[in-house]
Structure 1
Amino acid sequence: MIKFSILIANYNNGKYFKECYDSLMNQTYGNWEVIIVDDASTDNSVEIINSLIKDHPQFKLYRIPVNQGCGYTKRECMKYAEGEICAFLDPDDALYPEALEATIHEFIDKKDIVATYSQMMLCYEDLTPKKVYKKTKEIYNDRYFFNCPTQFAHFFAFKKEIYDKTSGINPNLRSAVDQDLYLKILEHGNIRYIKEPLYLYRLHSNGISQQSAKQNAKESFAKVIHETMKRRGIQKINNKIVPEIYTNSMEIYELLNYQTHKLHRLINKIKISFNI
């Protein structure tokens, strides 16, 4: 029976963790572990998490003494993971009961895939479902796919043996960490789209420095895309030269403007339909 590692990087999300924990305990698939790495939280996260998981050995909690950021913490999660299949779950979000089972079935049925992703349900702050995130689409994966504009997000699951073939999660990233992971994994094989929501994504009403955070994420994502282009040996995109050195995000996004055009999307749909 395939073991599934659910990976949780926590920082000051203790007040939301109970619903995350409950969703894991309610999974219809039985062979799983949960790796939680706390990034030096300043709230009572560790106490809350410990009180919930103390009688359940499938949960393991590790602590980082000094705050290091998302990339470092998620890389630490991977260090402790023992499952053949891994997926990240944010501590303020939750999974549908059948999430792990539906995901595992895809890996069993399609042995050539390296990862899966599903639709996700956007939720109010109390985790009541609001609407399905509409931008999640079935993608055509080739060396020019950069998930820009975003076409898939949670619930992303991947083979650990494939992750071990990559350079791993960049510990220096504080945002765009998931994007970096997606692109590295996709360089090693095909991905399977699960057209149903498996992930409950909590929308926060009181985000701190939201606009600033969005700008930082946009800048980080552009750097991730540029690094991906260099890693893949891409020198030109749509007859435009890829800069040797990263200077600004606009330069990178302008290279990919053609991917938002209707013709490009139509061609990709045809490729997906005929499995070209």
Structure 2
Amino acid sequence: MKFSILIANYNNGKFFKDCYDSILSQEYENWETIIIDDRSTDDSVEIIKQIIGDDERFKLYENEANYGVGVTKSELIVRSSGDVCGYVDPDDCIKPKALKSAVEVFQKKKDVVLTYSRLAKCDEHLNVLHEFKAAMQVPNGEKYFFNFPIQIAPFVAFRKEVYMKTSGINPELKIAEDQDLYYKMYEVGKVQFINQTDYLYRAHLGGISQNHNKQKSYAYYAWAIWEAIQRRNLKEINGIPVPEDYQDPQEIFKLLEYQNKIPFRIKKQIKLRIQKIFR
């Protein structure tokens, strides 16, 4: 089973060496790395070329224009040749067991289409600040599941063959394209949590979801949720009518406020226990 590591780069070449080293350290050896540079304005391409050298396991492409992360991440999947895919940002790293652990699940459980583990937020020098404790197994087959609050997070791996049968990542999404992917894979199969920390997320000023981009991230996240609601043909959620058009992120998140409350969380835990018994 071949694993395709997918990297969308924009002006993060200065951090790529750490990412590269983490890929080389993987215990699972049947992998390729596909990199697409989205017309960086710095010297990212030159840096990446120098680092990967003539290693045929790494393939570097350049967009003709700055298309954005939705388009670039979609194209990465198209250009990959693996059975399983997983995104790694060029400024982040993965731990040695990341690929191996995901592949083992896919080999054992044919109905699992997506796996996810836990990330650790780090400073600019990759010193761990704290782990993402909210990551845990979510109930499968729930039409009202929208990863709210967020529990599915990197490191995420998914079956390419199954992904290609979906409508694919919305290319118009500039942020929250990962949520869009999670929803679409969740709708066609089971997801499984791997209880370990595999992903080192580097927090720095140039990060796409940092600082001034947080409000944009919020809006795109709501848009991805609204599109999932439409695909699932939901007319109301928890007794509140679903807006016919997406205009205000607050309208979307208001629909899901009940999922943060204790009664909902208790019901979710009961469903998880039942699913575990019959798994």
Letter aligned with residue 217 of structure 2: A
Q: 1:6-57 CA deviation, whole Å, 9 max, x = no partner?
A: 0000000000000000000111111000000000001111111111112210
Structure 2 matches for 1:172-211, cutoff 5 A?
172-204=172-204, 210-211=210-211
Report the alpha carbon displacement of residue 130 of structure 1 after superposing the two structures with TM. Answer: 2.4
Measure, in 1, the Cα distance between the counterparts of 2:19 and 2:247. 39
Gaps of 5+ in 2: none
Q: Percent identity?
A: 48
Report the CA distance shift for 1:26/1:208 in structure 2 as closer, same or farther (over 3 A). closer
Measure, in 2, the Cα distance between the counterparts of 1:270 and 1:10. 41
Match of 1:105 in 2: 104
Measure, in 2, the Cα distance between the counterparts of 1:3 and 1:158. 12
Match of 1:130 in 2: 129
Query: What's the TM-score, normalizing by structure 2?
Result: 0.95
Greater CA drift, 243-252 or 82-91: 243-252
Q: 1:151-170 CA deviation, whole Å, 9 max, x = no partner?
A: 12101100001111111111
Report the CA distance shift for 1:112/1:206 in structure 2 as closer, same or farther (over 3 A). closer
SS of 1:121's partner is: strand
SS of 2:45's partner is: helix
Does the CA-based 8 Å contact 2:175-2:209 persist in structure 1? Answer: no
Measure, in 1, the Cα distance between the counterparts of 2:208 and 2:61. 26
Report the alpha carbon displacement of residue 211 of structure 1 after superposing the two structures with TM. Answer: 4.0
Report the CA distance shift for 1:100/1:10 in structure 2 as closer, same or farther (over 3 A). same
Structure 2 matches for 1:72-221, cutoff 5 A?
72-141=71-140, 142-204=142-204, 210-221=210-221
Does the CA-based 8 Å contact 2:205-2:211 persist in structure 1? Answer: no
Measure, in 2, the Cα distance between the counterparts of 1:61 and 1:229. 36
Between the two proteins, the alignment pairs up a number of residues equal to 275
Gaps of 5+ in 1: none
SS of 1:161's partner is: helix
Match of 1:39 in 2: 38
Match of 1:236 in 2: 236
Query: What's the TM-score, normalizing by structure 1?
Result: 0.96
1:250 aligns with 2:250: yes
SS of 1:86's partner is: strand
Report the CA distance shift for 1:218/1:208 in structure 2 as closer, same or farther (over 3 A). closer
SS of 2:54's partner is: coil
Measure, in 2, the Cα distance between the counterparts of 1:210 and 1:157. 24
Measure, in 1, the Cα distance between the counterparts of 2:217 and 2:24. 32
Match of 2:14 in 1: 15
**Could you say what the CA RMSD is over the residues aligned between the two structures, in angstroms?**
1.4
Measure, in 2, the Cα distance between the counterparts of 1:190 and 1:209. 28
Measure, in 1, the Cα distance between the counterparts of 2:179 and 2:250. 18
SS of 1:195's partner is: strand
Report the alpha carbon displacement of residue 129 of structure 1 after superposing the two structures with TM. Answer: 2.1
Q: 1:87-108 CA deviation, whole Å, 9 max, x = no partner?
A: 0000000010111111111111
